[in-house]
Structure formats: C-alpha cells, structure tokens
C-alpha cells in the first residue's frame, strides 16, 4: 500500500472520531441563545399554599413497649410518618395527644391537614382527643377551608368507630405483618382520590403484586360498612383486601363529602421502615409511598390557613430529635418521643 493510501485511511479515521464532537458543538447553552425576551417563569397559583404543614397526632407510649421510655404520659410519633410527609414537600407539627386541650386546638390552627397514625389505643384520652380533632376537621371543611385528613390503620379504625357511633363496630382479622395486593371495588371511580395520579401500569400492579403493607388485627368488612347507614353515607369504599384466612376487609376509603382518606394499610412503611423483612421495598412499592404522600400534601396546599411564621417555627417537629429504636426490637426504626 502506498504512503498516500495510508494517509487517506488515517484521515478518514480521524474525521470519523471528530464527527460526534462536531455534532455536540451545535448544542448551545441558555446564555448563548439569542432571545427576543427573557424566559417566562409563571407566577405561583395564588389559590394554593406552597408552605403546607401537616399535624401528626402522637400515640401513647414510646413505640417500643417501654424499652426506650417508661415515663408516665409519654407519647410518640414514628419518624416514618414525618419522613412520609416531608418527602412530598410539607413540614410537620406534632399534635401531642395528652397536652392541654386549648394548647392542642391552638396547634391545630398552625396546620393545613392532619394525619392519624397506626397504633393500638382505642379508648381513654387518646380516643377522646382523636374524636375532638376529627370533629374540628369536619367543622373547618364545613366553614369553607379545604382541610384534609389521612387516617392510617388504627386511625382509620378510630374514625370508623367515631362516624358509626359504635365502639364495637370493628371485626377481627388476621393481617399482621403481611404484604398484600389492593383489589379495587367494581365501578370504583378513582377521580379525585388518592389513586388519581397513579400511572396505569402501577394501578394494575396494585391488584396483582403484593406492594402494600398490612399490620392490623381489626378492621371492617365491606358488608358491615355498607349495612351501617352512618358509615355508608360518609364513606365510599375504594379497595378491599383478604387476610390470611381469606376474610375480606375494607382497605381504602374516601369520604363522600370531605377530603378524608382512610387506609387500613401502611403507605409510609414501604420507603421508611426496615424492621420487618416482609415490608415491600421494590421500586414500585416506593412509588406507591410517594404518590400517596403527594396526594395528601397536594390537598393540604388547597387549605386557606396561613399560620403565623414565628409561632409555627416554635412548634415544628424540628424542635425535637428522633430516637433510633431499631436495636430495641421489631417495630419502628426511629421515633419522636414526647415525655
């Protein structure tokens, strides 16, 4: 091969290597663009509040059966609920269930929505406090404020008891430490519900894959809810589940007239709890946590409440430190303890 032929091949090879660089050189930075006018940044919607705050009601105990604190009157909030709310762009004010009622109701004026957590307490001061807060939430909505409530596991059980005015309405189920599917009821509309923004493929997987975590001994069957006039007029059933004995229970509801959503399952655990190996941690499971959190906070942004800045800062969860309790036994990874 002649020298000229060799050089021709070399030049061809070099030119091929330079082609991508030449193509990239056509990409301009924003500062290099010739614009007739500056970029448009739409103003925020004045009807929405972009600094929403969620009040989370504390539960009796320390979250670890006394292994972390045996102080009389101690209560706790699992940090997973706090992280759940914060992941969607809201802050948290702890609503300590056994503090003076006037102080608790004053804190309620600092938030744009409320979350009732899971737990075990179904009587006494805790039940009374949840009842008072629930009544106040309905009053706020009746007065024109869009004020959402998420009631998780025990929280859903409590509002079932409150709405039905029957403390014996609940039934026993075998659904402790169990991952499950969600079965949508026939002809259920997801428009305006917690499921409205779920991608179609994720909605489908909810019915086929075990993507949600159950951890309860009590609940209510669809038939019993529908047969109770007070419950059936207040709630619409969205999903059901089967326990380990194939008994069907209501797993997700929404209020017909209020921004209230009840979950028998735990949307917060997928992303933020690690104590049980049965908690789903797949990418789909994490997406479920995020979509459910996003809906609560998007509802809270519609609230008319605008809390005083300084008073809010003095009551945020940031004034407290979480306690690591993963070594104390099965249960929560972190809790906020109020004693």
Place of tokens 């269930």: 97
Going from the C-alpha of 48 to that of each of 84, 89, 163, the distances in angstroms are 21, 13, 30
- Strands 171-180 and 212-219 come out as antiparallel
66: left (phi > 0), else alpha (psi -120 to 50), else beta?
left
β-partners of residue 260 are 149
CB 302 within 8 A of CB 145: no
Residue 210 a catalytic site member? no
User: Is 241 labeled as catalytic in the residue annotation?
Assistant: no
H-assigned helices in 94-181: 101-108, 124-142, 154-164
Cα separation of the two ends of the chain: 89
Q: Exactly one of 146, 241, 266, 325 is catalytic; which is it?
A: 266
How long a stretch of residues is the chain? 339
Under 8 Å between Cβ of 127 and 158: yes
Question: Distance of alpha carbon 258 from its chain centroid, rounded?
Answer: 17
C-alpha to C-alpha distances, 284 to 175, 184, 198, 271, 315, nearest whole angstrom:
22, 18, 11, 11, 34
Q: Which of 110, 77, 94, 138 is nearest to 268 (CA)?
A: 77
Q: Are the C-beta atoms of residues 219 and 249 closer than 8 Å to each other? A: yes
Beta strands at 260-263 and 248-255: parallel, antiparallel or unpaired: antiparallel
Nearest to 55 by CA among 136, 12, 131, 109: 109
| Structure-token pair, residue 81 | 């609920």
Encoding tokens for residue 211? Answer: 């993507």
Q: Which of 146, 153, 216, 325 is catalytic?
A: 153
Q: DSSP 3-state assignment of 24?
A: helix
The set of catalytic residues is 153, 266
């Amino acid at each position: 091969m002649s020298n000229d032929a060799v050089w021709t091949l070399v030049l061809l090879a070099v030119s091929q290597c330079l082609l991508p660089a030449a193509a990239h050189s056509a990409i301009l930075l924003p500062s290099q663009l010739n614009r007739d006018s500056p970029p448009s940044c739409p103003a925020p919607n004045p009807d929405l509040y972009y600094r929403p705050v969620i009040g989370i009601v504390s539960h009796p105990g320390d979250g670890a059966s006394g292994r972390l604190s045996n102080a009389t009157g101690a209560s706790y909030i699992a940090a997973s609920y706090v992280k759940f709310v914060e992941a969607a762009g809201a802050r948290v004010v702890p609503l300590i269930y056994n503090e003076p009622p006037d102080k608790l109701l004053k804190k309620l004026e600092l938030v744009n929505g409320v979350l009732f957590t899971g737990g075990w307490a179904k009587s006494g001061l805790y039940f009374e406090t949840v009842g008072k807060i629930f009544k106040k939430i309905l009053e706020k909505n009746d007065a024109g404020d869009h004020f959402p409530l998420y009631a998780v596991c025990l929280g859903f059980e409590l509002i079932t008891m409150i709405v039905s005015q029957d403390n014996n309405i609940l039934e026993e189920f075998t659904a402790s430490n169990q991952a499950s599917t969600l079965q949508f009821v026939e002809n259920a509309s997801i428009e305006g519900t917690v499921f409205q923004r779920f991608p179609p493929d994720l909605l489908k997987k909810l019915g086929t894959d075990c993507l949600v975590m159950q951890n309860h001994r009590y609940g209510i069957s669809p038939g019993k809810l529908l047969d109770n006039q007070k419950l059936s007029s207040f709630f619409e059933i969205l999903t059901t589940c089967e326990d380990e004995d194939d008994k069907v229970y209501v797993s997700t509801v929404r209020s017909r007239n209020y921004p209230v959503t009840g979950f028998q399952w735990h949307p917060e655990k997928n992303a933020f709890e690690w104590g049980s190996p049965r908690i789903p941690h797949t990418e789909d499971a994490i997406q479920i946590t995020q979509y459910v959190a996003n809906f609560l906070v998007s509802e809270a942004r519609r609230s008319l409440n605008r809390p005083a800045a300084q008073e809010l800062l003095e009551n945020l969860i940031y004034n407290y430190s979480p306690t690591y309790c993963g070594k104390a036994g099965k249960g929560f990874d972190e809790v906020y303890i109020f004693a």
